[in-house]
Amino acid sequence: MEVSEMKTPSSFPGDPGFKYLDDEEKALIDGIEADADTLQPLSEVERDAFLSQFRKADSPRKNVTMRMEESTINGLKARAETDGIPYQTLAAMILKKYVQGALLDRDAVREVVKALQTA
């Protein structure tokens, strides 16, 4: 079979033929979609303040190449567009937060908030 004959899988939930990788991915996407109505893009001032911490890197930047699911890249691009920033900048920000231990688990935060509300 030639490459031109291969069918590419659908990349967005709701598209015909879309298949989740696993239950965890489905739960993550369902959670994002449930919160979509409450998401607000950053104002220009907020966006500039937030991005300023990434413009002056503590160490020299290095180009990297990564292989990711197309649906992950498309989701990242969609989220970046909503926030009004380039998707590669968003990816770098997420990775930096993860490495610094500042990337929070939404479910864990909800559990803490729930515990605080009942206390």
For the chain, what is the mean pLDDT?
A: 80
Q: Please state the rounded mean pLDDT for residues 75-90.
A: 91
Record the pTM.
0.46
Q: At what angle do helices 70-83 and 87-100 cross, to 10 degrees?
A: 100
pLDDT at 87: 93
Q: How confident is the model at residue 57 (pLDDT cuts 50, 70, 90)?
A: low
Q: pLDDT tens, 3-32?
A: 444 445 556 667 777 787 788 888 888 888
Decide if 85 contacts 51 (C-beta within 8 A): yes
Contacts of 32 (CB under 8 A, 6+ apart): 75
Burial zone of 71 (CB within 10 Å; 0-12 exposed, 13-18 middle, 19+ buried): buried
